[in-house]
Amino acid sequence: MVIQALRVHQVVWLMVFTFPILSFNDGFAQKLLHIIVLSVCIAALYFDKVKPKVPVAFFKVFFHYFIVVILYYISISLYQWKGLSSSSIPDLVRPVIYALYFIFPIFFLLRGKDDVERLFKLLVLAAVIQIAFSFLVFIPETYSLVDIYKGRKSDDSVIMHFYRFSGTYIYPSDFSMFLSLFVYFYFFKFVAFNGLRVKEWGITFIVLLGIVMTISRGGIGSIGIMLIFCYFFSSAKYNFKVNIVILIFLSMLSLLILYLFSNDLINEESLGGMYYIFAMLDSGEGVDGSTLHRLNEFSLGLQFAAKYFPLGGGADRDAISLVIPIVESFYGHHLIKWGFTGLILAILFNVLVSMFYLQTLKKLPKTSFEAIFLKSIFVYMWSVPLIFGFSSAMSDRFKTLPTYYLLVGLGMAICYLTEKSINESKNQRAP
């Protein structure tokens, strides 16, 4: 039978969105998700009579990149710990998982712009449905369903954590990371077209509401900072309508604050009643989610990186746990385990991808869907090392790992499809 690539994409994304957390073992749930996704891909390749033509030459640089990273990880662990413990295996296998999700959009190459747009519409629909699903936290009768997608469940000792929106992404900050893609997309679309349609404004409002309801300090702050970057490093700052919208937003925010203070709605009693909300805004979702933990982790990462310069301490989790119980952030993970060299290798991936993205963006019309979507993925990709990485390892968590690499790989597929379309047009014009 002939299997359409779009159908495989849709199945994989639906699995990522709907896969539940397994309360007895979060790590096992992630491993099981990877195995199921891989099984679906292998089955699709096996049963598809029309085998996909993989553009190997176009992506050979990434094949070499992942080989180098895997060999580096194994070498460091063998050198530092004189052997490989069972606890180090997940970190050594991790680059293979990255590569599998990254190359998935390449193996199952979409047919063109129409397929990419259909897939994007699925992602938008999934975001809206997950925000609607998050409202179920206010309906006690649905808690048995909601709990299978919650890291902090309905019986949590601090119940306010349960009320934070997380969609099916288990944790609020992870959900805010997924939703950020659509904020960037509609921002760039607004800049490109000097406005949005009513439906698009509605989606933007729903997405922003979902992000606010996550009450994720890292998520909200990261998205805000990335939007500032988008504003100053694009033509947005010269766009009159963009500046008007920003001015209106800031004016409304200022008036709201003045109104609350002038009517004594903000006082010691009301602030005291909001204790839990402020506490959550000052914390994350980890075992020790405080800002102090992140600072200690980053400091420890620098110490490890300096001690083992230019390498790292290796992937022995048992040994590392004696120093710090859990490593949560992107920078802590790479500096402690792989040193400055490992951190450079991690950021090099973004640089290599960016070279393809930027080259493709030069060839695409600024108002084209592909250009707007590619810019959105570009900002989404860089938000991890630039901002999100200081608070969490967003490219490594349960559902953000597949989401991150599937999207970045989809961006690379857009680059290839664009190059292919341009070459075909040249051949048609040739005498």
Rounded to an integer, what distance in angstroms lies between the CA atom of residue 305 and that of residue 294? 16
Which of 361, 362, 363 is closest to 371 using CA atoms? 361
Band of the pLDDT at 291, cuts 50, 70, 90?
low
Rounded to an integer, what distance in angstroms lies between the CA atom of residue 272 and that of residue 277? 10
Q: Which of 75-89, 279-293, 354-368 has the lowest mean pLDDT?
A: 279-293
Q: Give the list of residues 6+ apart from residue 12 with CB closer than 8 angstroms, or none.
A: 37, 40, 41, 104, 406
Cα 426 to Cα 119, 177, 371, 422, distances in angstroms:
28, 39, 20, 6
Which of 300, 297, 316 is closest to 92 using CA atoms? 316
Whether the ω angle into residue 310 lies within 30 degrees of 0, i.e. cis, is yes
* Boundaries of domain holding 374: 5-429
SS3 204: helix
Question: Alpha-carbon dihedral of residues 88, 340, 227, 419, nearest 10 degrees?
Answer: -80
| pLDDT score at 1 | 62
Q: Which of 44-53, 90-99, 378-387 has the lowest mean pLDDT?
A: 44-53
Q: Which of 108-112, 166-170, 255-259, 304-308 has the highest mean pLDDT?
A: 166-170
| pLDDT score at 287 | 43
Q: What is the pLDDT of residues 149-190, one digit of tens each?
A: 998 888 878 788 888 999 999 999 999 999 999 999 999 999
**Please, what's the b/e burial string for 91-103 (b: 16 or more CB within 10 A of its CB; e: otherwise)?**
bbebbebbbbbbb
pTM of the model: 0.89
Q: With contact defined as beta carbons under 8 Å apart, do 11 and 40 qualify? A: yes
Q: Which of 64-68, 226-230, 277-281 has the lowest mean pLDDT?
A: 277-281
Band of the pLDDT at 273, cuts 50, 70, 90?
very low
Three-class secondary structure assignment of 227-265: HHHHHHCCHHHHCHHHHHHHHHHHHHHHHHHHHHHHCCC
Which of 32, 44, 59, 30 is closest to 1 using CA atoms? 44
pLDDT of 345 > 90? The answer is: yes
**Residue linked to tokens 């409202």:** 135
DSSP 290: B
Q: Which residue has the higher pLDDT, 264 or 226?
A: 226
Ramachandran sector of residue 316 (left: φ over 0; alpha: ψ -120 to 50; beta: rest):
beta
Report the mean per-residue pLDDT for the chain.
83
**Residue linked to tokens 């009301």:** 270
| pLDDT score at 396 | 79
Q: Give the list of residues 6+ apart from residue 126 with CB closer than 8 angstroms, or none.
A: 13, 17
Rounded to an integer, what distance in angstroms lies between the CA atom of residue 60 and that of residue 352? 12
Work out the average pLDDT over 417-426. Answer: 84
Ramachandran sector of residue 23 (left: φ over 0; alpha: ψ -120 to 50; beta: rest):
alpha
pLDDT of 14 > 70? The answer is: yes
Work out the average pLDDT over 110-134. Answer: 95
Which of 416, 406, 417, 427 is closest to 12 using CA atoms? 406
Band of the pLDDT at 28, cuts 50, 70, 90?
confident
**Please, what's the b/e burial string for 415-430 (b: 16 or more CB within 10 A of its CB; e: otherwise)?**
bbbbbeeeeeeeeeee
Number of domains in the chain: 1
Band of the pLDDT at 268, cuts 50, 70, 90?
very low
Rounded to an integer, what distance in angstroms lies between the CA atom of residue 213 and that of residue 220? 10
Q: Give the list of residues 6+ apart from residue 38 with CB closer than 8 angstroms, or none.
A: 100
Work out the average pLDDT over 399-420. Answer: 94
**Please, what's the b/e burial string for 240-250 (b: 16 or more CB within 10 A of its CB; e: otherwise)?**
eebeeeeeeee
